[in-house]
């Protein structure tokens, strides 16, 4: 089945639920598709690092805030926080349903991955360029699993950027990112994303709770490889850092 046919099939199936969704695309791995659908309001897209072994992921930690990504210059464009808790609960619920376990205290127990949730508070947000992620998420006390500590000079790497290039999202787009804890690069002061789910302009205009939860569900529908296998023994920060 062609990508175009599959997208149309999904759109016909999901339109009754997604009032704002114009179209959907299938899951995108690094280099799988050159289509740019970021202009479609409510469209859901996923990207993943096709060299990463997702079977190694078992447990997760997640900051309790939907971050607003501000423009490099100028005034941020306010985005409603009405659905922040709905978003966090739905992301968490999908992960739990896939068999992942949330780590209750990532200060003392190292999760397999950290989930970062944010929305764009600017137009034409270039999503997959490295940025100082700790400037946004540094408030979270759950970074204690990395004993040397992070700082605002740490960046993030998106392995698919070389393939997909500039991917600009409008204001109100929702981005959910999975960061494996093994992706920490102390010398380069970077962490690497393994997966991103994006819903274009989701939080703009006449959004509803069902549209928000439906878009998040679609991210996981597009990502069947996000399924936990048999859990491994949880590692402490000392064990993690001693293995490097």
Model confidence pLDDT, tens digit, residues 15-72:
333 333 333 333 334 433 333 444 455 699 999 999 999 999 999 999 999 999 998 8
Question: What's the DSSP call for residue 231?
Answer: P
Which two tokens mark 159? Answer: 């392995």
91: which residues sit within 8 A by CB, 6+ positions away?
Answer: 62, 115, 117, 176, 216
Domain 3-35+46-242 has CATH 3.40.50.300: no
Q: Is the pLDDT of residue 160 over 50?
A: yes
| pLDDT of 242 | 52
| pLDDT of 5 | 32
- Report the candidate in 66, 63, 150 with the shortest Cα–Cα distance to residue 106: 63
The pTM of the full predicted model, rounded to 2 decimals, is 0.80
| pLDDT of 238 | 52
Cβ–Cβ < 8 Å for 63, 40: no
The larger pLDDT score, comparing residue 19 to residue 145, is at 145
- Report the candidate in 31, 18, 10 with the shortest Cα–Cα distance to residue 212: 18
The residue ranges of every structural domain in the chain are: 3-35+46-242
Q: Is the pLDDT of residue 134 over 80?
A: yes
Q: Is the pLDDT of residue 214 over 50?
A: yes
The C-alpha atoms of residue 59 and residue 101 are separated, in whole angstroms, by: 5
96: which residues sit within 8 A by CB, 6+ positions away?
Answer: 102
């Amino acid at each position: 089945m062609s990508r175009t046919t599959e997208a149309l099939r999904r759109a016909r199936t999901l339109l009754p639920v997604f009032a704002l969704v114009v179209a959907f695309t299938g899951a995108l791995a690094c280099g799988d598709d050159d289509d740019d659908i970021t202009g479609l309001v409510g469209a859901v897209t996923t990207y993943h690092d096709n060299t990463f072994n997702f079977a190694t992921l078992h447990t997760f930690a997640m900051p309790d805030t939907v971050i607003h990504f501000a423009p490099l210059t100028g005034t941020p464009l306010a985005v409603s926080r009405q659905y922040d808790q709905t978003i966090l609960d739905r992301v968490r619920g999908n992960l739990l349903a896939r068999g992942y376990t949330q780590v209750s205290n990532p200060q003392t127990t190292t999760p397999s991955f950290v989930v970062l949730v944010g929305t764009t508070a600017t137009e034409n947000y270039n999503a997959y360029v490295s940025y100082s992620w700790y400037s946004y998420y540094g408030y979270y006390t759950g970074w204690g699993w990395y004993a040397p500590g992070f700082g605002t000079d740490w960046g993030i790497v998106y392995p698919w950027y070389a393939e997909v290039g500039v991917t600009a999202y409008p204001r109100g787009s929702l981005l959910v990112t999975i960061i494996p804890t093994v992706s920490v690069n102390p010398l380069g002061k970077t962490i690497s994303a393994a997966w991103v789910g994006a819903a274009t302009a989701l939080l703009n205009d006449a959004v509803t709770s069902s549209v928000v939860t439906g878009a998040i569900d679609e991210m996981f529908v597009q990502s069947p490889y996000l399924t936990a296998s048999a859990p491994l023994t949880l590692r402490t920060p000392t064990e993690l850092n001693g293995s490097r």
